[in-house]
Structure 1
Amino acid sequence: MTVQSWQSVQQEFNRLKDVHMRDMFAQDPQRANKFTKKACDFTLDYSKNRVDEQALTALFQLAKDHKLTEKRDAMFAGEIINKTEHRAVLHTALRRDSKDSILVDNKNVVNEVYSTLNKMKQFVAEIHNGTRTGRTGKKFTDVVAIGIGGSFLGPKIVTEALKPYQNPALKVHFVANVDAHHIVDVLAKLNADTTLVVMSSKSFTTQETLKNTETTREWFLASGAKFEDIAKHFMCVSSNTAKATEFGIDPDNIFPMWDWVGGRYSLWSAIGLPIALSIGFDNFEQILLGAREMDAHFLSTPLEDNLPVIMAVLGVWYSNFFDCQSHVLLPYSHYLRGFPAYVQQLDMESNGKSVNQLDQNIEYKTGPIIWGGEGTNGQHAFHQLMHQGNTIIPADFIMPINPNHDEVEHHQMLASNCFAQTQALMQGQTTAEIEQELLAKGVDKQEATRLAKHKYMPGNRPSNTLLMEKLTPIQLGRLIALYEHKVFVQGVIWDINSFDQWGVELGKVLGTQVLSALQDTAQPELDSSTQQLVDLFKQQIS
């Protein structure tokens, strides 16, 4: 770490840690305007943060001293920045212009990307226009999309977010959980003759995904289909062509994946096939275009005006100096209700690390706990902790200005709640103010003094407000790319590799060992607690 720049930020923290944002706004009538930036049809108001220009200057210098611009450019150029897996990191190549060139192993990967996109485009068109049908010649009415992690979460949340753009004649059902209740419930309401299955697994060996696909195949064959009919109903996104073909999938129905794309960054690839099937390929291209525009903003805009950089350095400010444990995302949009879960994986799987790029153990905090939910629902639940708890929880309020409906008063009420919450978190309410209100209502002095202590709201709780004109495919692409780049910037400042996930891998290995014990196919060495749980399960399962 660059010690001097961290010390400079520490000095700014010492200067501002006891300053209230109420006073900052009172002293500077232009504060809101100064700390608002616009780009890619977003308006980011970050004035309700416990910073001033001097502190932000120190934070931007921290990013510069960690060579952010050089590392950003290296990622976009396809250099091997994922050094534990010896891979390039090129999710951004999935949305580059077709005329661009990025070489990996002397191959222009952009050409490979567009070859796959063209294949997706043709496939989606054939499903939608009915020229590609199932074994009985009927048009497909349903898609079962099977994956897990990034192969599931991104496509599911994007499809939900863009409900107004969905094709009503083709319903997409997402399945990830190996708990059979999920796949059984989904299949129970479908007709096998009109169901298309899209399985996403780079290795074609992911335990949960493979089991759900096998169960779906059994259901399909039980409907009267023959093994050769699988080729008409089952597609996959995988790099293991041999395994997929052995399963019964036609090689022409296998869409590729590349090592330089991590699962949580993969919705821009053929992993996004369920998205394109749901909303149409033209809208899927708009998602890619939106991400490309955010890429251009991230690449070309000075750090001080750069939306992902601003949000990232503020996150470092709260995590490493205010010792905040978590960060909450509050979309004031029903269609964005799943977005916090998407960012949760993106951020926590990327930056939940404790070893730096020099292979050294680190003691400073890296990624925060990401959580959240629909804003108005949260106001009647967890906002209580945000307002009056002893923990500071930085928040992102996200809202489209124009909705996808005509209910004006509904949307005015939604916006009023969003804006009022940011004001309440920042401003709070003093005991003196509360006591005066109670006295004005006729409460006696002693009771007013007592109640004021319980109703006191300290305020000075930070938040960003991110507004967009409307939630469209292009804007959703921009939004997701914004958070991708924010996560990258924080990883650079923390000097960690944001693109491996070894913590996920150990559980997979041990899960396979425990499964062999449950099925009596092997006797792995287990700790006494795990062995006890295995024995109990085997004794009681019917």
Structure 2
Amino acid sequence: MTSRPLQNPDNPTNSTFTAVDVVLDTAYQHIDAAEWKKLFSVAKKSKVKEFIADMFAGKHINFSEDRPALHSALRNLPKSPVFLDGIDVMPAIADVWRRIDALCNKWVGVTDVIHIGIGGSDFGPRLAIEALAHVPGIESRGMRMHFLANIDTAELARILDRAQPNSTRVIIVSKSFTTLETTMNAKAVVNWLKDNDCTKGQITNSLFAVTANVPAAKEFGIEEDNIYPFWDWVGGRYSVWSAVGLPIALQYGFKTFEEFLAGAHAMDLHFKNAPLEENLPVIMALALLHQQQKQGITAYAAIPYADALDAFPKWLQQLDMESNGKSVDRNGKPVKYSSPVVFGSTGSNAQHSYFQLLHQGPDIIPIDFIAVRKPMSERPEAIAHHRILLANCLAQAQALAHGKTADNPNHVYPGNRPSNLLLLPELNAFYLGALLALYENRAATLGALWNINSFDQPGVEYGKVLAKPIEKALVSGSDPIQANDDIDAVTAARINLLNS
């Protein structure tokens, strides 16, 4: 776990940092030595180092909910003590690991697993399952893993058309076990099992839950032995390391799940212990802050040059924008900066989509280019194809950084478009875990720099509250709906349109 401090950004050999064999190259950020010095001073004034220590120590840094943010404990494989209000949380976490390992050895003859959850209960495990499916030679247990998140029955129908009811297992994932989309989809799947003549005993044995609300899961009809807990000090978007990641172990074996946790833990140790000037999550956070302050950027793109990471930008959108999309700081004062808009998709596909805007649009949009040294297949064409893939990645970064002059204005590239290059040695469970933890820790660092709480999401709730009276009005059929305290005139008109 080594890193090299940046001394002269104009010299590309001094712009690279390494942690857990993941390389970060900031050469195209166009940040000179004096600017880096100022940025690290900002980090020190913002007490980033103290914030990191408090996070790992279990301090209640989620001040609005009076909770710690201890997701790092979920990947603490050495089981070194982690205290929450004087109580070591590691024995309870280790017990969940033991139960997950035991369950992996019990499931024989299962053809389909339906994982029901939305948001943080969906993005992480879905990303991991899809990414690891591309690892050459990875051992899969043969079962089909289905992810059901959307309340739109199109997704439900597609899954149920494929699954075999008598050999299906259902995992219902909800921290509160009250999430509307999840509970409605779970009830629909249970009805499907009943409609396909599954007995009450078969259904009971098929249902599993991952939740912080064990009583609600029991009330739903899930046996206590089939309930896997996680805790209120784990935010949903940080929960893939908990039993929420159960599909990873079930699909690829508990050892693969451990490797996933180990990669994240290794990145945590780097984040916790490395000096700010050599700390990958901190450097990435400061580079983004710099682009906000100097260029006024309001968006950035994450472009993984690896088809296996197709779901990564969706996971990252929730991580960054739900964590740091805030209008007030920790003191209730309006913020100057918070999360930019995050978007992205896989390269080189993205080059044929929106890269025209990135190169010649009026807005400057930084990019994180993510590349993998080794090809993700064992096809005879793999080396040649991968060489072209990497060439495209490097070429796009160079073109964006330097631009191009021409007599024809239509052919001018302004340049000065900042980017990072993240280079993974290969894509497997370990490095996937390290990559996700790197971005989690960067999000936390940005929260510290912006003086906002990265671990609550009050804005998510308001729309859910408004949806309830609207849904009741839609149930009323063709009766005219009038504007009232819960429904404004525009929405009332739209309800009447739908009911007509």
Q: Give TM-score, length-normalised by structure 1.
A: 0.87
Q: Structure 1 residue 245 and structure 2 residue 218: aligned? A: yes
**One-letter code of the match for 1:426?**
A
Q: Structure 1 residue 394 and structure 2 residue 366: aligned? A: yes
Return the offset for 1:166: 5.6
Q: Structure 1 residue 43 and structure 2 residue 16: aligned? A: no
Identical amino acids, percent of aligned pairs? 41
How far, CA to CA, are the matches of 2:139 and 2:414 in structure 1? 44
How far, CA to CA, are the matches of 1:245 and 1:221 in structure 2? 19
Given candidates 440, 446, 462, the residue that maps to 1:484 is 440
Given candidates 358, 370, 377, the residue that maps to 1:405 is 377
Q: Structure 1 residue 463 and structure 2 residue 419: aligned? A: yes
Q: Structure 1 residue 318 and structure 2 residue 318: aligned? A: no
* Post-superposition CA distance 1:448-480 (Å, at most 9, x none): x4xx21101111111111111100100000000
SS in 1 for 2:425: strand
Given candidates 492, 516, 519, the residue that maps to 2:472 is 516
Q: Structure 1 residue 527 and structure 2 residue 499: aligned? A: no
Q: Structure 1 residue 83 and structure 2 residue 56: aligned? A: no
Given candidates 403, 415, 425, the residue that maps to 2:390 is 415
* Post-superposition CA distance 1:36-84 (Å, at most 9, x none): 1111111111101121111011001101100011111001000111111
Return the offset for 1:174: 0.5
Partner of 2:457: 501
How far, CA to CA, are the matches of 2:93 and 2:473 in structure 1? 42
**One-letter code of the match for 1:153?**
F
Given candidates 203, 228, 252, the residue that maps to 1:279 is 252
How far, CA to CA, are the matches of 2:191 and 2:87 in structure 1? 40
RMSD after superposition? 1.6
Partner of 2:5: none
SS in 2 for 1:398: strand
Q: Contact (CA 8 Å) 2:404, 2:414: kept in 1 or not?
A: yes
- Segments of 5+ residues of structure 1 without an aligned counterpart are 1-27, 131-138, 432-448
Partner of 2:122: 152
Return the offset for 1:524: 7.2
How far, CA to CA, are the matches of 1:272 and 1:315 in structure 2? 30
Q: Contact (CA 8 Å) 2:104, 2:249: kept in 1 or not?
A: yes
How far, CA to CA, are the matches of 1:411 and 1:478 in structure 2? 22
1:424-443 equivalences under 5 Å are 424-431=399-406
How far, CA to CA, are the matches of 1:477 and 1:225 in structure 2? 38
Return the offset for 1:273: 0.7
Return the offset for 1:507: 1.3
* Post-superposition CA distance 1:70-113 (Å, at most 9, x none): 11100100011111111111000101134311222432111111
**One-letter code of the match for 2:120?**
G
Partner of 2:499: 538
1:17-56 equivalences under 5 Å are 31-56=11-36
SS in 2 for 1:321: helix
Partner of 2:164: 191
Q: Contact (CA 8 Å) 1:228, 1:248: kept in 2 or not?
A: no
Q: Evaluate the alpha carbon distance shift between residue 65 and residue 282 of structure 1 in structure 2; reply closer, same or farther with a 3 A threshold.
A: same
* Post-superposition CA distance 1:322-361 (Å, at most 9, x none): 1011010010000011111111100000000111111222
Q: Structure 1 residue 118 and structure 2 residue 98: aligned? A: yes
SS in 2 for 1:359: coil
Q: Contact (CA 8 Å) 1:230, 1:249: kept in 2 or not?
A: no
Q: Contact (CA 8 Å) 2:9, 2:32: kept in 1 or not?
A: no
Q: Evaluate the alpha carbon distance shift between residue 505 and residue 146 of structure 1 in structure 2; reply closer, same or farther with a 3 A threshold.
A: same
Partner of 2:86: 106
Q: Structure 1 residue 216 and structure 2 residue 189: aligned? A: yes
SS in 2 for 1:94: helix
Q: Evaluate the alpha carbon distance shift between residue 179 and residue 186 of structure 1 in structure 2; reply closer, same or farther with a 3 A threshold.
A: same
How far, CA to CA, are the matches of 1:186 and 1:538 in structure 2? 29
SS in 2 for 1:198: strand
Partner of 2:304: 331
SS in 2 for 1:460: coil
Q: Evaluate the alpha carbon distance shift between residue 301 and residue 29 of structure 1 in structure 2; reply closer, same or farther with a 3 A threshold.
A: closer
Q: Contact (CA 8 Å) 1:98, 1:110: kept in 2 or not?
A: no
**One-letter code of the match for 1:83?**
F
Q: Evaluate the alpha carbon distance shift between residue 395 and residue 207 of structure 1 in structure 2; reply closer, same or farther with a 3 A threshold.
A: same
SS in 2 for 1:48: helix
Partner of 1:9: none
SS in 1 for 2:230: coil
Return the offset for 1:249: 1.3
**One-letter code of the match for 1:103?**
F
How far, CA to CA, are the matches of 1:30 and 1:526 in structure 2? 57
Q: Evaluate the alpha carbon distance shift between residue 373 and residue 29 of structure 1 in structure 2; reply closer, same or farther with a 3 A threshold.
A: closer
Q: Contact (CA 8 Å) 2:9, 2:15: kept in 1 or not?
A: no
Q: Say which is worse superposed, 406-415 or 224-233, in terms of deviation.
A: 224-233
